[in-house]
């Protein structure tokens, strides 16, 4: 069974989707630790409700120590609003994934849904990708496309994308935990 550590900064709905998929036996993996860099992140409450250990940490060396102590084999960033630095990447590159609310490489960084609306995109979506040193630039694992309607606001588009995020994040974790993902340069092959 793969041990997952989830890094959050906020509401944690993707964390919840991962916990639910694990508890329902949909993924051969278990969330063993949730770390937030914000003390008031609602995701911490979600973890506690499922008896998952939590920590509020800002320093990457401390995060690394906690992840290693929990024998974490996959780190999932789920609404973690900081760029990951060298300390964590040195240990977990290739074993760290992120979810982003756009079809990368379009609209990386903050406010991806606002960027899609401002660009007049007719489609957007969600991406799960391996984390590298850049901002939302790592090898792409899964994407899901949603339409953008003329009537959309940032809220309505975000909600449509979030629904897809909750589906593809557990799917990507399942592929990883079954050893089916191989990184070749900037691409991910499903083996």
Indicate the residue whose CB is closest to ligand GRF. 79
Residues near ligand GRF (CB under 6 A) are 10-14, 78-79, 99-101, 162, 165
Distance of CA 87 to the CA centre of its chain: 19
Q: Of the listed 50, 100, 111, 166, which one is catalytic?
A: 100
To ligand GRF, the closest distance from the beta carbon of 60 in angstroms equals 18
Dist CA 93 CA 87 (whole Å): 10
Dist CA 154 CA 112 (whole Å): 9
**Nearest residue (CB) to ligand GRF, 84 versus 178:** 84
To ligand GRF, the closest distance from the beta carbon of 38 in angstroms equals 11
Is there a catalytic annotation at residue 111?
A: no
Angle at 61 between CA 56 and CA 63, to 5 degrees: 35
**Nearest residue (CB) to ligand GRF, 54 versus 179:** 54
What are the tokens at 98?
């992120």
**Nearest residue (CB) to ligand GRF, 23 versus 71:** 23
To ligand GRF, the closest distance from the beta carbon of 42 in angstroms equals 8
Angle at 44 between CA 38 and CA 46, to 5 degrees: 150
To ligand GRF, the closest distance from the beta carbon of 8 in angstroms equals 6
Which residue from 7, 144, 141 is spatially nearest to 74, judged by alpha carbons?
7
Angle at 128 between CA 125 and CA 129, to 5 degrees: 130
Task: Catalogue the active-site residues.
Answer: 100
């Amino acid at each position: 069974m793969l041990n997952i550590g989830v890094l959050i900064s906020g509401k944690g709905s993707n964390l919840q989707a991962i916990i639910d998929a694990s508890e329902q036996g949909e993924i051969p993996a278990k969330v063993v630790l949730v770390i937030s860099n914000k003390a008031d992140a609602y995701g911490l409450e979600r973890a506690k409700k499922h008896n998952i250990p939590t920590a509020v940490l800002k320093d990457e060396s401390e995060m690394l120590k906690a992840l290693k102590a929990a024998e974490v084999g996959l780190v999932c960033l789920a609404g973690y609003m900081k760029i990951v630095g060298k300390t964590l990447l040195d240990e977990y590159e290739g074993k760290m994934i992120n979810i982003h609310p756009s079809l990368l490489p379009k609209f990386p960084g903050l406010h991806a849904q606002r960027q899609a609306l401002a660009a007049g995109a007719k489609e957007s979506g969600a991406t799960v990708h391996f984390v590298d040193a850049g901002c939302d630039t790592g090898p792409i694992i899964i994407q899901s496309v949603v339409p953008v309607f003329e009537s959309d606001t940032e809220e309505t588009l975000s909600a449509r994308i979030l629904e897809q995020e909750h589906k593809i994040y557990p799917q990507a974790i399942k592929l990883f935990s079954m050893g089916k993902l191989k990184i070749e340069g900037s691409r991910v092959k499903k083996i």
